[in-house]
Amino acid sequence: MFKRNAMGNTRTKLVAGAVMLVLGLSVAGSALATDTFGGGATLPAGGYVGFNFLTGSLKQSANTASPTSGVAPVLGTSLFGAWATASGNKVSYCQTGSGNGKKIFDNWDGAASVSAIGACGGGLTGFGAPSSILVNPHFAGSDAPMSATEYGSFTSGGKVAQYGEPVQFPAVAGSIAVIYHKSGLSTQLNLTSAQVCGVFNGTITQWSTLTGNASDTSAIKVAFRSDGSGTSFSLANHMNAACAGTSSQHFIVDQSFATAISQYKPTIPSTWVGASGNQGVVQAVQDNDNTIGYAESANLKASALAGGATDVKYATIGGKDPYADFPTAVAVLPTNDFVLGAVDASTGRPAVTALTPIGQKTCMVLVNPLGYANITSRYPIMAVSYLIANNKGNTATDVAAVRGLVGAAYDTSLRSSITTIGAIDPVTGKPNTGYAFLTASTLTQAKVDSCIAQ
């Protein structure tokens, strides 16, 4: 173990950075190496750090920064790992869920002691960063863009003087799988969006409705996210758009599953199972026969690779597969300086509202959820995951690394070494990760660099 200096770097890493410069490497973030700490959304973890993100407490790899509490290793074939390998930096990513990740980033005024330095425990504690970290934190991940309320919590919470205004960039897309455990069912479920809506709003209650087996009177048990979750937000985004509702009864697009279904189920049934994190829902489905839940597709794959969830299957939706029918890249139309506003009471959809006034223009980048809510030409339930950073407050050593990390998703030179996002199965010739890169002419490293300063 190397001793850190005040900036959390090591002499060895500084030498490595110098050697890379001598060799002429020009990857963003390679000027001086640094340990970079962040956390948040569980949905993109497989794409960010590799599909072995379920391999338990603290395990080191060449690309993994050393946190004060456990995170999974960062594989060189992942997005963060490819960036770390090329730049000479290291990164630690703590999975807390999107909602908690943003609260930790905000230093949420409802829990003022929360910060990146708190333990990486998977909830509203912290990201496991060492006390020597000077930027608190370097970055956060979320599958739901910042809302006006969350943005206001940051800007009114005393952090603006030190860190400026938040910076947000869409990084990766992921498919949301409808998963199930049904003993004795040998064929894969193929559901319609209307059936998905019926299961999660509680109007479809028996397996016979889904399987066509009239003799099966088994009740459907639902597993759901109990924490604030971009996965829940994205499922609700699809169900709100794809399924008919009324002005008084519709899905509400929200990070809380309980809020999303509240007009159908003001109180969640006692037989339903809440769990924290995507993997928590996968495990809840594994542990409960006759259960249907939802999770990011890669989390199911990661669980299978870890030897768990042997009884958990996934459904196709309208005949579309969350892996094979999810593209390697998704074209998006980002807009600048917008956040999610209040939900429309008559539709359940969040308004997209402009930030006024805003000091650091063009750096809060949003992909309108309405634009990807129900695209039936591919697998239709999709999330867009974001990376959030500070406009200023980054040290001279840190700033290049943070810029490079956030911009890595747009670095096409890295993509040939990344197998966790947008990869093609060599046997089937179809996508097999459940993750896609985002493409837009305005998403560039230069734009990231203009938004993240010292």
Do 76 and 147 have their domain in common? yes
- What separation, in Å, do the N-terminal and C-terminal C-alpha atoms of the chain show? 28
For the chain, what's the residue count?
A: 454
Do 193 and 291 have their domain in common? yes
Do 170 and 201 have their domain in common? no
Residue 80, in any domain of the structure: yes
Residue 371, in any domain of the structure: yes
Convert the pLDDT of each residue in 344-384 to its tens digit: 999 999 899 999 888 889 999 999 999 999 999 999 999 99
Q: Do 334 and 367 meet the contact criterion of CB atoms below 8 Å apart? A: yes
pLDDT of 163 reads: 87
Number of domains in the chain: 2
Nearest to 244 by CA among 374, 367, 138, 335: 374
Residues 6+ apart with CB under 8 A from 396: 32, 454
DSSP, collapsed to helix, strand or coil, labels residue 48 as: helix
pLDDT of 7 reads: 30
Do 118 and 213 have their domain in common? no
Do 152 and 187 have their domain in common? no
pLDDT of 10 reads: 29
The model carries a pTM of: 0.87
Q: Do 437 and 326 meet the contact criterion of CB atoms below 8 Å apart? A: no
Beta strand spans in 77-185 (E)? 90-95, 139-142, 166-181
Alpha-carbon distances, residue 257 vs 24, 86, 224, 341, 405 (angstroms): 50, 39, 7, 18, 31
- Report phi then psi at 396, rounded to 5: -60, -35
Do 170 and 182 have their domain in common? no
Q: How many helices (H) and strands (E) does the chain have?
A: 14, 17
CATH code of 37's domain: 3.40.190.10
Residue 2, in any domain of the structure: no
Burial of residue 317, with CB atoms counted within 10 A of its CB: 0-12 exposed, 13-18 middle, 19 or more buried = buried
Residue 263, in any domain of the structure: yes
Buried/exposed code over 75-109 (b: 16+ C-beta within 10 A; e: otherwise): bbbbbbbbbbbbbbbbbbbbbbbbbbbbbbbbbbe
Residues 6+ apart with CB under 8 A from 224: 200, 232, 257, 268, 272, 273, 274, 275, 281, 293, 294
Instruction: Say whether the peptide bond before residue 73 is cis (omega within 30 degrees of 0).
Output: no
pLDDT of 209 reads: 96
Supply 367's token pair.
């992909």
Do 252 and 294 have their domain in common? yes
Do 115 and 22 have their domain in common? yes
Residue 272, in any domain of the structure: yes
CA dist., res. 444 & res. 408, Å (int): 9
Residue 230, in any domain of the structure: yes
CA dist., res. 453 & res. 206, Å (int): 55
Q: Phi/psi zone of residue 50: left (φ > 0), alpha (ψ -120 to 50 degrees), beta?
A: left
Computed on alpha carbons and rounded to an integer, the radius of gyration of the chain in Å comes to 21
Other Cβ atoms closer than 10 A to 141: 29
CA dist., res. 392 & res. 161, Å (int): 9
CA dist., res. 143 & res. 99, Å (int): 9
CA dist., res. 426 & res. 414, Å (int): 20
State which residues of the chain have pLDDT below 50. 1-31, 56-60
Do 166 and 180 have their domain in common? no
Do 74 and 119 have their domain in common? yes
Residue 18, in any domain of the structure: yes
Alpha-carbon distances, residue 331 vs 154, 200, 392 (angstroms): 30, 29, 30
Residue 140, in any domain of the structure: yes
- Report phi then psi at 297, rounded to 5: -55, -40
CA dist., res. 28 & res. 405, Å (int): 8
Domain with 297, as residue range(s), is 176-317
Outline where 78-126 has alpha helix (H).
79-87, 98-106
Do 184 and 307 have their domain in common? yes
DSSP, collapsed to helix, strand or coil, labels residue 447 as: helix
pLDDT of 26 reads: 35
Do 133 and 21 have their domain in common? yes
Give strand pairing partners of 316: 190
pLDDT of 67 reads: 65
Nearest to 352 by CA among 363, 362, 367: 367
